[in-house]
Structure 1
Amino acid sequence: MTDFIKIAIFTYPHEYTVLKLVLEKNNIRFFFQNETVIGMIPFYSNALGGIFLKVHPNDLEQAKAILRDFSTEDEYLKIV
Structure 2
Amino acid sequence: MNGFKTIAIFNYPHEIVVLKHILEQEEIHYFFENEHLVSVDPLASFAYGGIQLKVHPNDFEQVQEILDNLNPKLSIV
TM over 0.5: yes
TM-score by length of 2: 0.90
Sequence identity (%): 51
Equivalent residue, structure 2, for 1:39:
39
Structure 1 residue runs without a partner (length 5+): 73-77
Give the aligned partner of residue 27 of structure 2.
27
Q: CA RMSD in A?
A: 1.1
The aligned residue for residue 74 of structure 2 is 79
AA of the residue aligned to 1:11 = N
1:2-54 per-position Cα deviation (integer Å, ceiling 9, x unaligned): 21010000000101110110011000000000001111111220101111000
TM-score relative to the length of structure 1: 0.86
Q: Where does the alignment leave 5 or more consecutive residues of structure 2 unmatched?
A: none
